[in-house]
Structures are given as C-alpha cells and as structure tokens.
Amino acid sequence: MQMENAQLPELAFNKAKQYEMVSGGCSQCTLAGIFDALGAKNDTIFKAATGLADGVGLTGDGHCGALSGGVLAIGYFFGREKKDFGDMMKLVKGNLLSKKLHGRFVQKYGTCRCADLQISFFGRFYNLYDAEEMKAAIKAGLLDTCSTLVGEVARMATEIILDARANDEKK
C-alpha cells in the first residue's frame, strides 16, 4: 500500500530524527530521512553530504548541516544537470526551492549558522572533536535538540519537494 503524500513529511521527520539519534551527521540524516520518505536512493550524494555536518567539518562555522541536507535533496530532485551546465536558467527552480527552505528555517530558528544555533539552544558552542566537549554537549541535550531540528528540516524540505512536484503536474 502506497503512503499518501500528506503522510510523507511526517515520515521524513521520524526517519531523519531517528537517524540523527543513532548515527549522527545531520546533513546525511536529513537527506536519508527525505530519501526514505520519497523512495529515492543515491549513495553518491549521501556520501558527499558527510563533510557538511555541524556547519562544515564539525566546525560550527557554516550553515546548519541539516539545512545542507535539505538543500541537497531539493537539488537532487530539481537541480540543474551536467548536460544543461551552460544554461543558467536551469539554476532557477532548484535555487528558488532552496531559498524557500532557507526562509522557513530562518523564520523558525532565527539563524541558519550552526554555532549560532548551538548558542541559542544551549548558551554556548561545543567543539565536537573534543571528547569532554562532546560529553557536555550530550548532557546539555544536543542529541534530542539536534535530532528534532534534523527531523523538522526533513519535514520542511519534503513538503517543499511535494508541493513543487504537485505544481509541475498541474502544468
């Protein structure tokens, strides 16, 4: 039995949240939740998302890895293909949809920069390369907080993708 489109954003939320709780890597977890919900598979883009966690490379100095994962999913479904590389107009749809995700994210969280999100949630930024800092982050609620954020981004991106698909079908 095929799942109704209305249920897919919630499925993406639940899958992404669970992946983040167990596996970490917010960009990959967001992407995996969206791909699972929408029945997509692409290990290459999943692998490429590795270094986008916690800003970039666990630095916090970049936008949220979950947001990166959502943008990658949008690009997967609506991005410009290599064969169209010379056509700048083919950039428009994927960028507009990514901008929509960014706007929803910033509206909900006030910022998209990872370190700023951590400061907002926990009152400070955690260096996740340091074992003691990682323990402190987990004690502060990083797993639950970030896994919920990952799920929210997966839900938002899935809604945007489904809406764009529905609009394409109307044309």
Residue 48 lies in a domain: yes
Counting the structural domains of the chain, the total is 1
Residue 167 lies in a domain: no
Residue 171 lies in a domain: no
Residue pLDDT, tens place only, 125-137: 999 999 999 999 9
Output the average pLDDT for the chain: 94
Domain span at residue 73 reads 5-162
What residues contact residue 39 under an 8 Å CB cut-off, 6+ apart?
Answer: none
- Quote the CA–CA distance of 9 and 80 in Å, as a whole number: 24
Neighbours of 78 (CB within 10 A): 20
Q: Rounded to two decimals, what is the model's pTM?
A: 0.94
Residue 168 lies in a domain: no
Q: Where are the alpha helices (DSSP H) in 24-141?
A: 26-38, 43-48, 65-78, 92-109, 114-122, 131-140
